[in-house]
Amino acid sequence: MPLEIKEMSISYEILTLNSQVVDQIAAGEVIERPANLLKELIENSLDAGATQVRISWDKSGQSIEVADNGQGIQKEFLKQALSRFATSKIRDTDDLWKLSTFGFRGEALASAAAVSELKIISRIASTDKAYSILSSFGSVGEVENASREIGTTIQISKLFENVPVRLKFLKTPAAETLAIKNMIKAFALKNPHVEWVALCDHELQLVYAKQSNSIQRAEEVLTVKPLYEVEKIDEGMGLKIHFSDPMNVQKTGKNLFLYAQGRLIQDKSLNVAVLEAYRSLLMHGEYPTVVVMLEVPPDQIDVNVHPAKSQVKFQDPQKVFRLVHRTLKDALAQAPWAEKIKKGEPSDYRPLEINFHSQVEQPQLAYEPLFEQTNYAERLSPALQKNLVIEEVEARNLVSDSVGFWSRLRVLSQAHLTYITAESDDAFYWIDQHAAHERVIFERLSLQVSEGSVSAQKFLFPYVFDWDAHLIEVVLSQISVFEKWGFEIERMGPGSLGVVSAPYLIKERALSAFFERVAEDIKSFGTSFQFENKLSLYLATWACHSAVRAGKPMSIDEMKSLLKEMDEFPLSTFCPHGRPVFIKKEFTQLDREFGRLQS
């Protein structure tokens, strides 16, 4: 059948859009998705001085309710609250610069009302009567009697039902729920004095009781403990940062929160300021937990640049960057966690408890390196190379000594929370604690693999990964490789894979990161690439995750036992990433430099 082509009629008449259309367009800007709408509602509650906020939603995200104990809305203003540009918060443009409330555009409720059924129930303190008003996709009904305590409830249902396009853009219920929960967490973090309760489909999701102190709230919300705190006031700017120590890492940046004037903001440059402060303390792909709270003089920040107000413009972004970077960096340099440990709280580092066939008995066992080692020394300038004595051959021969070369060193101290300083009869040694431990873990694992004796731990409950069926097929097709490396995996259902056991050397917390990585690579490369080699590389990375960090205080005994562990292997000149494990300086060289010895 031939296509019927209709002629388009174009009108040249210029009209002002009717308010309903305007509201719908605005709704698109302010409330892209349920979480954004929720943000607006919560902000209104906080603006109204609420100290209790109860949030519920249904899985689809199309019904949302926020109830608070704030000051309420007067009966006479209920209707107005729903109309566009109706706000009780500013009167003129001057107010824009002195803003202390979240809302001020007066468009959130109007926008939401345009694309949903929205009901307000509210009561103010001076009366015991509550009132409600219902708006259905923009058409506002009459004020009616209702009942509730002092405060306001906003009920939204059938969200976006009159804008099917928006409905189509909603993500899966799980994704919307996650976004909503993250939004609530972000508010809870910044408002410890408020009690938060959140329910999805009547099931309790989050509860945060009132807290007097923001560090406790942060530990509670982010489930990272301990966190540390630093405060700074500089040139009229106030800054407070909660931060984790460098041993306590995340595999994504999800725990970086930035607030300016109490608002959660997105700011790439400040993210960089934070990560830069941690540089050299974290490995590639590791992220800290950091909550930055900034208060800037109102005339130095514009919060009105983005409809959802998630971006701000600083008058002097450099200044803010420097303040955040410096403050955090200085705080990290003081290593407050070291204080804690000195005070008797136990440190994480334990010599590994795993027992496997002793390598000392068969030191000449030829093990094949599983991947190319980078020759670090070759990349250095000749001048530096001269000072760096990295003697692989010597070190390898030392292994057969009964006491072991490393065990015989005298440990002097830990320097810079990173290096073990030690001496032998004729030289000084600096050993990178992290690189050394990493190497030990990696060698152990490699050896176990080549002997087919990886010591694995069986989990009481398998770790389950929900992946698509195809991916699971592919992973299962490599089952023998996984087994060799000490993993026991099995299909748990059409879309889930269970990890029943894993090598001891992997900390449980690194497990999901590891499998996500593997899955991602299989997805992008298939299994045609050298899967096994790749796996060994991952293991190197992850040996690295389990190893003791730079920045971690170590006692003399801990350092000694790490050196002892180093003796278990044909050593260990480079960490699995190709950095040197130790640097040595002969005393004769030192004597020469001090002019005690003529060369």
Binding site for ligand ADP (CB under 6 A): 40, 44-45, 48, 68, 70-73, 81, 86-89, 103-110, 152
**Contact call for residue 246 and Mg ion (CB under 5 A):** no
Nearest distance from residue 98's CB to ligand ADP, in Å?
Answer: 15
**Contact call for residue 108 and Mg ion (CB under 5 A):** yes
The token pair at 127 is 């009366």
**Residues with Cβ < 8 Å from 427, sequence gap 6 or more?**
584, 585, 586, 587
Nearest alpha carbon to residue 71 among 13, 127, 111, 2:
127
Instruction: Between 7 and 76, name the residue whose CB sits nearer to ligand ADP.
Output: 76
Nearest distance from residue 211's CB to ligand ADP, in Å?
Answer: 22
**Contact call for residue 103 and Mg ion (CB under 5 A):** yes
Q: At 364, which amino acid appears?
A: Q
Instruction: Between 85 and 594, name the residue whose CB sits nearer to ligand ADP.
Output: 85
Nearest alpha carbon to residue 188 among 199, 196, 178:
196
CB 207 within 8 A of CB 187: no
How far apart, in whole angstroms, are the C-alpha atoms of residue 521 and residue 154? 46
**Contact call for residue 70 and Mg ion (CB under 5 A):** no
**Residues with Cβ < 8 Å from 294, sequence gap 6 or more?**
237, 238, 239, 258, 259, 260, 261, 320, 324
- Residue 568's binding partner among Mg ion, ligand ADP, none (Cβ under 5 to 8 angstroms by kind) is none
Instruction: Between 72 and 503, name the residue whose CB sits nearer to Mg ion.
Output: 72
Nearest distance from residue 257's CB to ligand ADP, in Å?
Answer: 22
CB 136 within 8 A of CB 124: no
Instruction: Between 91 and 343, name the residue whose CB sits nearer to ligand ADP.
Output: 91
Q: At 307, which amino acid appears?
A: P
Specify the pairing of strand 195-200 against strand 419-423.
unpaired
Instruction: Between 44 and 135, name the residue whose CB sits nearer to Mg ion.
Output: 44
Instruction: Kindly compute the dihedral angle of the four CA atoms of residues 243, 249, 253, 255, in this order, to the nearest 10 degrees.
Output: -50
- Residue 288's binding partner among ligand ADP, Mg ion, none (Cβ under 5 to 8 angstroms by kind) is none
Nearest distance from residue 91's CB to Mg ion, in Å?
Answer: 16
Nearest distance from residue 103's CB to ligand ADP, in Å?
Answer: 2
SS3 267: coil
E strands in 189-348: 195-200, 203-208, 227-234, 237-244, 256-260, 263-265, 290-295, 301-302, 313-314
CB 317 within 8 A of CB 323: no
Nearest distance from residue 189's CB to ligand ADP, in Å?
Answer: 20
Task: Pick from 24, 36, 44, 116 the residue near Mg ion by CB under 5 A.
Answer: 44
- Residue 106's binding partner among ligand ADP, Mg ion, none (Cβ under 5 to 8 angstroms by kind) is ligand ADP
Under DSSP, the state recorded for 597 is S
- Residue 70's binding partner among Mg ion, ligand ADP, none (Cβ under 5 to 8 angstroms by kind) is ligand ADP
CB 109 within 8 A of CB 81: yes
Nearest distance from residue 20's CB to ligand ADP, in Å?
Answer: 16
**Contact call for residue 435 and Mg ion (CB under 5 A):** no
Instruction: Between 88 and 385, name the residue whose CB sits nearer to ligand ADP.
Output: 88
How far apart, in whole angstroms, are the C-alpha atoms of residue 101 and residue 556? 54
E strands in 248-367: 256-260, 263-265, 290-295, 301-302, 313-314
Residue nearest to ligand ADP (CB): 103
Q: Across the chain, which distance is largest between two alpha carbons, in Å?
A: 102
Nearest distance from residue 217's CB to ligand ADP, in Å?
Answer: 22
Instruction: Between 60 and 88, name the residue whose CB sits nearer to ligand ADP.
Output: 88
Instruction: Between 37 and 341, name the residue whose CB sits nearer to ligand ADP.
Output: 37
Nearest distance from residue 45's CB to Mg ion, in Å?
Answer: 9
- Residue 242's binding partner among ligand ADP, Mg ion, none (Cβ under 5 to 8 angstroms by kind) is none
Specify the pairing of strand 130-136 against strand 117-123.
antiparallel
> Interface with Mg ion by CB under 5 A: which range of 56-64, 108-116, 177-185, 325-333?
108-116
At residue 539's C-alpha, the angle toward residues 537 and 540, to 5°, is 65
CB 563 within 8 A of CB 406: yes
Instruction: Between 68 and 245, name the residue whose CB sits nearer to ligand ADP.
Output: 68
The token pair at 385 is 């190379």
Instruction: Between 90 and 583, name the residue whose CB sits nearer to ligand ADP.
Output: 90
- Residue 441's binding partner among Mg ion, ligand ADP, none (Cβ under 5 to 8 angstroms by kind) is none
Instruction: Between 298 and 578, name the residue whose CB sits nearer to ligand ADP.
Output: 298
Nearest distance from residue 73's CB to ligand ADP, in Å?
Answer: 5
**Residues with Cβ < 8 Å from 550, sequence gap 6 or more?**
246, 280, 281, 417, 418, 432, 433, 434
At residue 572's C-alpha, the angle toward residues 571 and 578, to 5°, is 155
Instruction: Between 105 and 534, name the residue whose CB sits nearer to ligand ADP.
Output: 105
> Interface with Mg ion by CB under 5 A: which range of 102-110, 273-281, 318-326, 414-422?
102-110
Nearest distance from residue 157's CB to ligand ADP, in Å?
Answer: 17
> Interface with Mg ion by CB under 5 A: which range of 25-33, 107-115, 196-204, 379-387?
107-115
How far apart, in whole angstroms, are the C-alpha atoms of residue 265 and residue 259? 5
Nearest distance from residue 305's CB to ligand ADP, in Å?
Answer: 16
Please report, as ranges, the residues that interact with Mg ion according to CB under 5 A. Answer: 44, 103, 108
